[in-house]
Structure formats: structure tokens, C-alpha cells
Structure 1
Amino acid sequence: MYRALYRVWRPQRFDEIVGQQMITQTLKNAIMTHQTSHAYLFTGPRGTGKTSAAKIFAKALNCHHLVDGEPCNECATCTAITKGQLNDVIEIDAASNNGVEEIRDIRDKAKYAPTEADYKVYIIDEVHMLSTGAFNALLKTLEEPPANVIFILATTEPHKIPLTIISRTQRFDFRRITAKDSYERMVYILDQKKVDYDEKALRVIAQAAEGGMRDALSILDQVISFGDNTVTLDDALTVTGSVTKKLIADYMEEVTNHVTKPALETMRQILQEGKDANRFIEDLISYTRDVLLYQQAPEMVDSVAMGENDQRFADFAKSIDAEVLYQMIKTLNDIQQQMRFTTHPDVYLEVMTVKLSQLDGTASATAAPAKAADDAVVQQLATKVDQLQTALQNLKAQGGTASPAKPARVKPTTNGGPTIKKVNVSQIYPILGAATKPDLMKVREVWSDLMNILSITQRALMHVSQPVAASDEGVVVAFDYPFLYQKAIDNQELMDALGNGLDRLMGTAPKIVCVPKEQWPQIRHDYLETHQPEVASQPATPAKPAVVDQAQQLFGDLVEVKTD
């Protein structure tokens, strides 16, 4: 029976794990110095070696013939673990065993000593799929682990794991595997199998795998089958849906030279050959990035573009302005997002082609009105300063005094930035209607823990925000900068992560509504006036107006009282 390449060539030693040298060396040192922990957390993208490292670690823990921290893979224990037949190494899929009862069963059986090996090892894959109750059941075992029992938790989504679990484990973050490492591993495997291959084909596969070694071997398997036990460039392009460098170069030169019709014809030729639309955009983004890198540091392109740059590529990189490349990447990314759910990708590609063909001068075109507007403001201010100086000299000459003229209000101008969406007060007012200071304090107490749950990019987006009002049903979050507010409300994945995090930390999932910080005082003021008429109509006493009492009850110490 035929076995897939990624199963046949699954790593059996730490040295065979591709692209994770720092992690594997740390694990080997821990075993050799007998400084292993009772619980580990392996995180990272799919196909980067998390589960393979866990099984190798289980073998190394129980192998009596270690060589430099590596298992021998020949003794009875190693052989049984490799075949999945050792009762003391238990591999569990949390996606299908995510209930409290399953974890309680693990907890009860973990109390018993290993029967065949030195250590009982539990490998829980996709651990983020466990329910809240299951995590709580697992927490008790991690707090007081039985002797000779080790837990290895693996996940692709560490932000979904409670901090109470993470803090009781040693965490290792597996990184995406570079195209160069994937390429070298495939070369090694094909040489061992004595299969003929085209190096350019392997480079295409390495790029298409997007950092996953398992994905690379799966694609390679398809190409070998498609090409009757050979690996050719055409077969690799067909299987991955990628586009040849020549077609990409043709397309890029056409859109940057503003010849829309030939560019559309090239794009249609690409689609007629059966190329995937999304893969085409990925290839364009990758090519554009390589051009940018070549402009800044030509030596870096060899590793990134896998050495496929030629004189045509170099000439193109020298002829195009970097600002146009930035605009192209933004346009490509926008179209890629819009294509996610469409059944007519060709329409989006046609629109994209027209947009790209019109990009040259876009940056200067948008900058020119902004510069003109700035110059107008500067001129207006300069004129006002001259007027004030003249008035001051006249006053000095007359020896009199006069009330200073009110400075002219300079109308703010926009610099062509993104339009900020209007705040939906219909979502905020129900929260304010039930908001209390204790609810706000509860959210603030867990806010820092919530930020730690988020991914690095999500945390960067939220670091200038804070909760300003809360009720049982919702939380109002204010952002220091309007453009970050805009990015946050457009990021549904971030909103879901915030909701899930609050549910985990507080036991409830309140609705999260965002506002720009600069608009928050006015929203709060409008609410008090429109929804508290009986309070707002009461005569205010010099000591403390009734509306202030109401505001402080709703917003606590966020209310600043200023006397007239």
C-alpha cells in the first residue's frame, strides 16, 4: 500500500526536524541534563513539526540508548512509539475529545505509574479545541502533576488557551519553515528516492507551501503522481496553480507601462491556462516584494526568490519607483480580500489590472492636493500673524489698549487619509443605559490579561485602547487614534478574539463596541442630555449638579468636573 511522502519521511530524530534548530537543541539539552519539565506547549503554524517533535521527545525520554540526546530508534521502546503501539505514550486529538469527561478520564489514568516505559507521556494535539470545563479539569493535573507523567500540548492557535494553562507549561514557538529549508529537504528526499526533478519545480513547490513542510511534501506527492514519477516545472505550476516568472514579468511590465489592453490579455491567458486566481495574486505580491528587496538589498533576493532573478528582473527593479510598488501591494491585498467569497474571480482580476495600470503618479497626485492644502493653511496663518503684528504696533504707537481680536479659525484639512466610519451610537446607548462603575472595574481588572491572550499583531492594534464604559451586556472601548479605531472595527477576527477572551476571563461574552477617544466625551454628553431629561432639567447647585452625579454613576473616575 502506498504511503504519502509526509508519512514516510516524517522526522524520527530531532536533527531531521526542518527549520527548528533552536527548539530541538533546547529539548535535547533538557534531556541530557535531566532538566525536563512536567508540561510543554508547542505552538506554531500547521506542518512545522510540532507533533513530530512531541513524539521524538517522548522517545528520547524513554530510550535507554541515547546518543547526544537523540533516540536510537532501534530499541523496543523506540520502535513501539514510532508505530504508535506503546501504551504509555498516549496521543489525543482534542478536536474530537474536547469534553470534560475525556479530560477527567486522562486525569484519573495519569495517577497510575507507567507500565512499560520510564515516563507516561500525553500528547494532546489541537489543545485549543478543549472546552472551558475541560481546561479547568486539565488545570488541576498541571498544578499537581503525578510523578513520571509529562504533558505535551500542541496548538496552532495559542491565543485561545487560558493564561492559567500557559503559565504552567514551557512554551516553544515553532516558526514557519523558509522556502530554502523546504527546498533542501525535498532535494534530499528525491535524491534518496532516485526521482528525477527540475530544481525550478521544487522552488515553485517551496513557495506554494507557505511555510509548512507537510504541505510541501503533499504538493510534491501530487506532482510526482501527475508527472509519472518525475518532477517538472510545468507539472509543478499546474498542480500549485502558480504562474511562470515570464508571465508575471510580462504582466508587471505591462501594468507599470500603463498599457492596460496587453495586461488584460496576459491576465486572460493566465486564467485560460487554468491558473488559480488567488495563487496568481500571491505570485504578484511575492514578485513585488522581491523587487522592493532587490532595490534595498540585492543580496537578499537570492534566498527569498530562490535564485531566479535575471537581468530582466534587475532592469525592472531599477526602472520602477518604490512608491508605486507600495501602492501595488496595497491594491493587490485589497483585491485579494474582496475575492475571498466570490464566484467570479475574473471580474476582480480585470478590475485589479485596470487599477494597477493607473497607479503611476497616484502617490504624487494625492500628495499634491494635500501639499496645496497645507500651503494654503500656512499662508492663511502667515497672513493672520502679519495682521496681529500690525495691530500690536498700532496699539503701541497709540499707547492704548484694546481687546485682542479673536483669532480666525483655521478650517482643518485632510491629507487624503482613509475615511473614518461614523460611530454607531445605537449600539453604544443600550450599553450606557445599563452601565455601572463596578462593571467597568471588572473589565479593567482583566484587560491586561486579555491583551496577553491576543496575537502579537492584534495586541499592537489594541495597545492604545482602553475600556471606558461597561454593563453586563457590553463594553465600550476607546481608541487614542481614529485610524486604529477604523482598523479594529474592520477586523472581525480581532473582535472575535476579544469576545472569546472576555468569555474565558470573566465567564461572560459582552458585546464590544469601539469609539475614537476624541469623540467619546461628546457621545457621553449627548447620551446624558437625550436619555436623562429628568436629570438634565433639574437646577444645578454650585456644589454638585445632578447631571454630574448621574455621569459619575455611569462612568466613574472617567468624569472630570470643571467649574466655570
Structure 2
Amino acid sequence: MAYQALYRVWRPQQFKDMIGQEVVTRTLKNAITTKQISHAYLFAGPRGTGKTSAAKIFAKAINCHHQTDGEPCNECDTCQAITNGTLNDVIEIDAASNNGVEEIRDIRDKVKYAPTVADYKVYIIDEVHMLSTGAFNALLKTLEEPPANVIFILATTEPHKIPATIISRTQRFDFKRIAASDSYSRMTYILDQKGVTYDEQALKVIAKAAEGGMRDALSILDQALSFGDNEITLDNALLVTGSVTHELLATYMQQVVAGDTKAALATLQSVLEAGKDAERFSEDVIGYARDLLLYQQAPQMVEEAEMGSVSEDFQTLAQQTPASAMYAMINELNAIQQQMRYTTHPDVYLEILTIKLAEIGRQKTASTVAPTGTATAPEQPAANASELASLQREVEQLRTTVKHLEQAPTTPKAATKPRITKQAPVKEVNLAKIYPVLGAATRDKLNQLQEVWPDILNSLSTSQRAVMKVSQPVAAADSGVIVAFDYSFLYQRATSDQELTDALENGMDRMIGTALPVVFVPKEEWPTIRKNYLTAHKDELQNTNHEPAESQAPQSNPVVAKAEELFGSVVDVKAD
């Protein structure tokens, strides 16, 4: 038989085998033993936490004639058929690839037929949030009043995308992230059963890298086994996960907290030369800084998360580092991590990050040491004067480099200085699409769209949401919507991303009932475009005012009235 991945071989077959979901398993077992079984369930939670496994165990338990205390026997023909996926009465559907109305209508037509072998016909719909609006509507009535002996189990990683009408017709169970200690215990059990030698520290690294997913932990463990020829060592685990050793991470943090910029940059260089992932390194540093901060307030939480492996160096650093320094460092880490997602030169950002962190550490340490009146305090400014001047020059050079990188397109070849200075995003704006929207735009339509804009962004994928995070609708009509971007390089990326445009239009269709065409503009060019439109259509706006002057109050300027209609009362009127 072909080799099977660990997460498939060691998939839970009973509720007692599931890790870290005691509340869910206990509730389901009690429902089975007391025969209080609902017709529809919703299993929501992060990936790899046991949603589909729980659904299959539940399907076995309710159809097993030999179940005890809500646990299936896994020996009868029905249990074995469900485990092997050969029982026709338990249907597993992937909504990511079967998300249309026709597929759901097919379920609705077949659900009326009684089960052939089992007592209950069970439909397990995985990633149910991928269903289209029409598919959800087709499922709604069947889900509300299904035929007897039919049970629906919906599984999803994004429950916020499921309509409230669907959620209200199910019993919802939230699967939580699996603690690193539970993942560690499960991996030690599996390796002991397989007779594989392992390093405990290596398993702790894998457990933390899995970020709460048991399936992810077993996948990384499988990869480490292949890399190390059926032996798990700390070096192999670090190479597979891309993590940095705890000692190297501690050294880096000690150097930046002490304000030793040169040593910290040298440590960073050794990390990058070892082939470590830049984003992974920044995540490790954020996690370390967070642990330092937590250890000052709740040491037991950090000891539990680190599974008892808190070193003396860590404890000393936590005691000596001011909390204000940790706050400032975490803010810088978060800001740099956001910027690194859109660059092809993450090493530059890490160097800037190192200099900023060391500067924070130096300032905070100096502010806490100065009042003590030590003999070394007066020598500090003189000793660092030349180094400070050198660092300031280096910071200016790096800022200039980052500014050029942010303005350049995503491909490295386009990042030449002449193109940066000659870029003019306004030339790429499609005025032929913008002006018709402005001509029919209303403030009410814009207000309606602004109210649901956060919900529309939440419906996007993670990468799409990151691009649209710094955008906002600035004009809207029944014929379209204009969206402005704070940064021109994100505007360029959004303009060339047709999938993003389609996702926005689908989101508006779901939220306001109309899929409005979307036009993108850079924020810095929007006032000019708006002004040019009002100027170019001044005569047309004047001609729209046909009411006699004597039948109304003194007539306001039609151009100003149109501007206020488009953009609200924030219009600043100036004389020509």
C-alpha cells in the first residue's frame, strides 16, 4: 500500500481521540446517548482542529447499533464503511468545488429518499462558506425542515461569511485552536507508537509553528521525519519550520534592548545568511516580545505556552526591560510586518527594523538608568556621539531606499530612479468610466455604500483585504462606485487584479443587492479629478436650473449644489 501521511493514518476515529475539543465532544456524546439529535449542525473553527473528523465520528455514532456512551464501535460493517468512505448514506461534499445552485438542488431532490443501509442519511458539507448566494437560498428551506432521518453537518473556517438565516437553523459548535502542549502530547504519543527517536525541543518547535492546528503539526512532523531519515532533531525541526533557534532569538532581543545596533545587525545578517524566512523571523520576534511583556504580568501563562522551558536569560531580560519599551517595539514590529508583505526586499525592512528597535531600547534604557546616578551615566552621551551620527546617516539612506521601493512597481526591473520620478498615476485613471459615475452620483448612495464597506472587505480573501485596507469609496451612483487608495502602488496593484474587482462587485451584490462596477483612483489625484469634472460640466449644471428665480429663495450656485450633492457639506466654496 502507498505511504499515507501521518494526519491521515492517525485521524481520530472516536471522540476520545480528539485533541483539545473536550466541550464539543462531550456535548455531542450526550446528545447521542440521550437521543436529542438535531437535524443540522454547524462546526466552525480554524483549520486542522477536527471539524470534519468530528462530523464523521458523529455520523458513525448515530448509525452504530453497538455504540456505548456516544462512542462508535468502529468494528461493525456500518462503522467500517463510513471510515472507508463507501457508505452511500453518508455523503461528504466539498463546497469549494460544488458551490453552485445546481449542486444544492441535486441534494434537495435526493434528500427526500430514505437511507438505504444506515439509520440516518448524513450530509457533511465542508467549507460551506464557499456556497454562492443562490446556493444558500436553495439550501435554506431543506435545512429548515429536512425529511425524517436526514442530518446536515456544515463545516467552515469562516462562519462570518455564512448568512444569518442559515446559522439560525443549526446548532453551532465552535472548535478552538489546539494548545501547543496538547499538540506536543499527541506527537509524542504517535512517535512512541512508531518507535521513532525524537528531541523534545524539536517537537515543541513544531507544536508552536503549527499555530493551533493539529493537522498542520502532523504535516510538519511528517516533513521533519522525511528530512531527518526517521529521526526528529532540533536542527531539522528549525530547518523545516524556518524558525530561529531560541538562543539566537534571545541574543538578538538582548542586543536591541541594550541598544547595541552593530551587534544586532550582525546577528540579523547571520539569520538571513542561514536562509531563514524574513516574515517568519519577524513573527518570531513579535512572539518573543509578547512573551517578555506577558511574563512581567502573568509568568504562569508564558510557562504554560513554552511548556516549562523558560530560560534564566529570558527571565532576566523580562525583569530588566521596561514595559513601555516592549509596547514601542511591538508597534514597530507590527508596522514593518505589514510593509514587508508588498516588497521584494524584506532584508532592507529588517535592517530598518533592527535600527529602530535598538534606538527604542537605547532611549528607554537611558531614561530608566539616568535617575539612579551611576558613574557610567555621564559617559553615555560622549561614548555614543560618533555612533549616533553614523546611525543617523544610515537611517536616512535606508529611508530613501524604502521610499523608492514603495513607489516602484512590484517587479524589481521597474525600480529605477527615472521611472519613480516620472510616474503619474493620474494618466492611468480611466476618466471615461469615472465621469459617468460622477454625473449620476448621489450622497445617499455613497452613505449606503460606506455603511456596508467594512462588511464587503471582510468578505474578501486575506490577500485581497490587505490591498483594500487603505481604500474607501468616495463617490457612488446606481451606475458604479469610485474607490480611492491612500497609496499609489496599491492602486496600481488593484487596477491590474481582475479577481479583486470581481470579488468587490460580488460583495456589493450580497450587501446592497446590486453589483456596481468599480473604478479605482489614487487618493492624491482625486481632488484634481473632481475639480476638473465640475469645471468641465459647469455649463451643463447651469442649464439644469430651470425654475424661475421669483418662485424660490435666492438661487445658489448649481455647481456648488452639485458638489454638495456628490460630496456632502464639506465643500469649501471660494470666489474666482
Query: Which category of TM-score, normalised to the shorter sequence, fits these structures?
Result: 0.7 to 0.9
Q: Does the 8 A contact of 2:541 with 2:558 survive in 1?
A: no
Instruction: Look up the match of 1:152.
Output: 153
Instruction: Look up the match of 1:433.
Output: 439
Q: Does the 8 A contact of 1:502 with 1:510 survive in 2?
A: no
Closer/same/farther in 2, CA of residues 31 and 531 from structure 1, 3 Å limit: farther
Per mean C-alpha deviation after superposition, the further-off stretch among 24-33 and 494-503 is: 494-503
Q: Does the 8 A contact of 2:42 with 2:153 survive in 1?
A: yes
SS at match of 2:48: coil
Closer/same/farther in 2, CA of residues 336 and 79 from structure 1, 3 Å limit: same
Structure 1 residue 224, shift from structure 2 partner: 2.2
Q: Structure 1 CA distance, aligned partners of 2:243 and 2:563?
A: 60
Q: Does the 8 A contact of 2:228 with 2:236 survive in 1?
A: yes
SS at match of 2:203: helix
Q: Structure 1 CA distance, aligned partners of 2:447 and 2:293?
A: 48
Q: How does 1:121-520 map to 2 (within 5 A)?
A: 121-360=122-361, 431=437, 433-436=439-442, 439=445, 470-474=476-480, 500-505=506-511, 506-509=513-516, 511=518
Q: Does the 8 A contact of 1:126 with 1:156 survive in 2?
A: yes
Q: Structure 2 CA distance, aligned partners of 1:324 and 1:497?
A: 41
Instruction: Look up the match of 1:89.
Output: 90
Q: Structure 2 CA distance, aligned partners of 1:178 and 1:540?
A: 75
Instruction: Kindly indicate whether residue 75 of structure 2 is the aligned counterpart of residue 68 of structure 1.
Output: no
Structure 1 residue 263, shift from structure 2 partner: 1.4
SS at match of 1:123: strand
Closer/same/farther in 2, CA of residues 535 and 434 from structure 1, 3 Å limit: closer
Structure 1 residue 438, shift from structure 2 partner: 7.6
Q: Structure 1 CA distance, aligned partners of 2:180 and 2:287?
A: 12
The superposition leaves residues 274-294 of structure 1 with CA deviations (integer Å, 9 ceiling, x where unpaired) of: 333222222111111100001
Q: Structure 1 CA distance, aligned partners of 2:246 and 2:29?
A: 42
Structure 1 residue 348, shift from structure 2 partner: 3.0
Q: Does the 8 A contact of 2:542 with 2:559 survive in 1?
A: no
Q: Does the 8 A contact of 2:446 with 2:474 survive in 1?
A: yes
Q: Does the 8 A contact of 1:440 with 1:471 survive in 2?
A: yes
Structure 1 residue 197, shift from structure 2 partner: 2.1
Closer/same/farther in 2, CA of residues 499 and 554 from structure 1, 3 Å limit: farther
Structure 1 residue 528, shift from structure 2 partner: 8.2
Closer/same/farther in 2, CA of residues 27 and 555 from structure 1, 3 Å limit: farther
Structure 1 residue 241, shift from structure 2 partner: 1.4
Per mean C-alpha deviation after superposition, the further-off stretch among 63-72 and 200-209 is: 63-72
SS at match of 2:361: coil
Structure 1 residue 219, shift from structure 2 partner: 0.9
Letter in 2 for 1:176: R
Q: Does the 8 A contact of 2:261 with 2:355 survive in 1?
A: yes
Letter in 1 for 2:219: S
SS at match of 1:86: coil
Closer/same/farther in 2, CA of residues 151 and 509 from structure 1, 3 Å limit: farther
Q: Does the 8 A contact of 1:437 with 1:553 survive in 2?
A: no
Instruction: Look up the match of 2:574.
Output: none
Q: Does the 8 A contact of 1:198 with 1:233 survive in 2?
A: yes
Q: Structure 1 CA distance, aligned partners of 2:33 and 2:537?
A: 69
Closer/same/farther in 2, CA of residues 328 and 440 from structure 1, 3 Å limit: closer
Matched residues, number: 491
Structure 1 residue 453, shift from structure 2 partner: 7.1
Instruction: Look up the match of 1:30.
Output: 31
Q: Structure 1 CA distance, aligned partners of 2:509 and 2:126?
A: 23
Per mean C-alpha deviation after superposition, the further-off stretch among 188-197 and 9-18 is: 188-197
Per mean C-alpha deviation after superposition, the further-off stretch among 268-277 and 104-113 is: 268-277
Structure 1 residue 11, shift from structure 2 partner: 1.0
Letter in 2 for 1:267: L
TM-score normalised by L of structure 2: 0.72
Q: Does the 8 A contact of 1:91 with 1:123 survive in 2?
A: yes
Per mean C-alpha deviation after superposition, the further-off stretch among 128-137 and 36-45 is: 128-137
The superposition leaves residues 15-41 of structure 1 with CA deviations (integer Å, 9 ceiling, x where unpaired) of: 222222222222222222333222222
Closer/same/farther in 2, CA of residues 513 and 44 from structure 1, 3 Å limit: farther
Instruction: Look up the match of 2:380.
Output: none
Letter in 2 for 1:83: N
Q: Does the 8 A contact of 1:99 with 1:134 survive in 2?
A: yes
Percent identity (aligned) = 66
Structure 1 residue 207, shift from structure 2 partner: 0.8
Letter in 2 for 1:331: E
Structure 1 residue 204, shift from structure 2 partner: 0.4
Q: Does the 8 A contact of 2:534 with 2:559 survive in 1?
A: no
Q: Does the 8 A contact of 1:431 with 1:473 survive in 2?
A: yes
Closer/same/farther in 2, CA of residues 124 and 547 from structure 1, 3 Å limit: farther
Structure 1 residue 476, shift from structure 2 partner: 8.3
SS at match of 1:360: helix
SS at match of 2:71: coil
Letter in 2 for 1:501: G
Letter in 1 for 2:329: M
Q: Structure 2 CA distance, aligned partners of 1:204 and 1:317?
A: 21
Q: Does the 8 A contact of 2:289 with 2:326 survive in 1?
A: yes
SS at match of 2:341: helix
Closer/same/farther in 2, CA of residues 203 and 359 from structure 1, 3 Å limit: same
Structure 1 residue 509, shift from structure 2 partner: 4.1
Closer/same/farther in 2, CA of residues 473 and 50 from structure 1, 3 Å limit: farther
Closer/same/farther in 2, CA of residues 220 and 446 from structure 1, 3 Å limit: closer
Per mean C-alpha deviation after superposition, the further-off stretch among 43-52 and 496-505 is: 496-505
SS at match of 2:91: strand
Q: Does the 8 A contact of 2:541 with 2:559 survive in 1?
A: no
Structure 1 residue 259, shift from structure 2 partner: 1.9
Gaps of 5+ in 1: 366-423, 460-465, 517-522
The superposition leaves residues 131-180 of structure 1 with CA deviations (integer Å, 9 ceiling, x where unpaired) of: 33333332342244222111112122233333333333222222222212
Structure 1 residue 469, shift from structure 2 partner: 7.2
Q: Structure 2 CA distance, aligned partners of 1:322 and 1:442?
A: 43
Closer/same/farther in 2, CA of residues 259 and 88 from structure 1, 3 Å limit: same
Q: Does the 8 A contact of 1:162 with 1:453 survive in 2?
A: no
Per mean C-alpha deviation after superposition, the further-off stretch among 76-85 and 491-500 is: 491-500
Closer/same/farther in 2, CA of residues 452 and 344 from structure 1, 3 Å limit: closer
The superposition leaves residues 33-89 of structure 1 with CA deviations (integer Å, 9 ceiling, x where unpaired) of: 333222222222211111111111111221122222222222211111111111100
Structure 1 residue 549, shift from structure 2 partner: 13
The superposition leaves residues 393-426 of structure 1 with CA deviations (integer Å, 9 ceiling, x where unpaired) of: xxxxxxxxxxxxxxxxxxxxxxxxxxxxxxx999
Q: Does the 8 A contact of 1:40 with 1:169 survive in 2?
A: yes
Q: Does the 8 A contact of 1:476 with 1:515 survive in 2?
A: no
SS at match of 1:289: helix
Closer/same/farther in 2, CA of residues 352 and 79 from structure 1, 3 Å limit: same
TM-score normalised by L of structure 1: 0.73
Structure 1 residue 452, shift from structure 2 partner: 9.8
SS at match of 1:121: strand
Q: Structure 1 CA distance, aligned partners of 2:84 and 2:105?
A: 26
Structure 1 residue 183, shift from structure 2 partner: 1.3
Instruction: Look up the match of 1:381.
Output: none
The superposition leaves residues 469-512 of structure 1 with CA deviations (integer Å, 9 ceiling, x where unpaired) of: 7422446899xxxx9xxxx99x9999998754322241424649
Q: Structure 2 CA distance, aligned partners of 1:447 and 1:333?
A: 24
Structure 1 residue 216, shift from structure 2 partner: 0.3
The superposition leaves residues 171-201 of structure 1 with CA deviations (integer Å, 9 ceiling, x where unpaired) of: 2222222212211221222233332222211
Q: Structure 2 CA distance, aligned partners of 1:450 and 1:343?
A: 29
Per mean C-alpha deviation after superposition, the further-off stretch among 40-49 and 128-137 is: 128-137
